[in-house]
A = this chain, B = another copy of it.
């Protein structure tokens, strides 16, 4: 059982302290050990990043972009290897792993447009012979803390853009599936990144706290659960850092009576059960407007849920793999029991699934609840498993009120052909990412990702234009040159240009 290494200052670094096991959730076996960095190790990474900053900051954005162009090539060349690693440690299918990598690469593409996206604004003659412009300069050392569910994509939301903006980066990936993350980071170094600009440190709360407390770390990007997001936002901002902390979700899909139901069912199947629902953009609630839609939906879903092809993620042609850990399997199963007890109708029960040859794996079949009500725990909390809840309402307005009343506001979507319904929904729903007939409205890399309410803490969303603003600080310059022949009087009053 090999031990994974940190990547600090361009070198793989062995740690001598605490470790954790990394499992293959399809077999239930521990396959690697991952070190849990001490504060000293984190500081080593910070020191490397700090040392690399002055030269990297002064590297023209167009040159920094060249590294991103090469990084994209290397990622594409290593797609199969990366997908295999993701699947082995996370459990998601190979196709799903390749899919997340692809979306991650789109962020590398966006970062390769560094000279374009870093442009400031220039104003000639803000006053007589006075010019002004804005410049977006890097912050220095910034850090990212990323979750298990997208070991490739979520880190790629962060560091390519941060680095293209001229920062140096410390990444603390999830300790549950760190191998693909580490390989990807190493590929960026191979692409020509100067040493120390990107550093990967594995760890747990000790490492996180070290990053929060280090005065050299100027900004923190986090994706994970809401309690931790809130903790990091409060602790980071208390120390004067800028923080964007993305948390939990409970994403509703509204099905209108005029929805194209066959397509909506296809969409929902993927959005609810893909990656076992372990996605912050997964659809976990289907809100049906009218019983007719609900009944038809259930009728179409049940056979498809029962037909889900489930197995070891690293096999081909599957729909779902296992959940990520044994603990998480227990937790999700607990929610299913809780929903039954609360009176929801468990239409499909995925518990007790055994996969031949993978008996130790953390498998759970797709579950479907009907007649779920807003007071139930399975409605209020994020389950993060292959469990879809159907709530029945009488109108679009009622559906929207339900969504607006929920504490989370990450993603949502509506299935309809009707322009008026779609426009009303897009306009007034209090959710940051909205799909119209798009079940997982993850914005493309040149827009930005972020939820509202308790799904995101911070002013600026992740990646895209907001990401650029997050990873830079604005400098405003106002300039005039002395005119040879003029002597100006003192101006004691507040100046207008």
A: which residues have CB within 8 A of B?
58, 60-62, 65, 69, 72-73, 93, 95-96, 98-100, 102-103, 106, 109-110, 112-113, 115-135, 137, 153, 230, 233-234, 237-238, 240, 242-243, 259-260, 262-263, 265-267, 269-270, 273-275, 279, 304, 318-320, 416-420, 422-423, 426-427, 431-438, 440-444, 446-450, 452, 454, 457-461, 465-466, 469-470, 473-484, 486-497
Contact = CB atoms under 8 A, between A and B. Distances in A.
Contacts of A65: 109
Nearest to A65: B109
Contacts of A446: 115-116, 119, 123
A487 B129 CA distance: 32
A432 B115 CA distance: 21
Contacts of A102: 494, 496
A441 B237 contact: no
A1 to B, nearest CB: 29
Contact of A319 (B100, B119, B492): B492
Given A69-B72, A418-B418, A477 B434 contact: yes
Contact of A113 (B116, B419, B426): B116
A480 B437 contact: yes
A308 to B, nearest CB: 8
A461 B440 contact: no
A152 to B, nearest CB: 10
Contact of A469 (B459, B482, B492): B459
Given A125-B61, A419-B481, A274 B494 contact: yes
Contact of A130 (B260, B438, B483): B438
Contact of A488 (B123, B267, B478, B495): B267
Given A419-B418, A444-B497, A482-B420, A474 B461 contact: yes
Contacts of A270: 490-493, 495
A491 B274 contact: yes
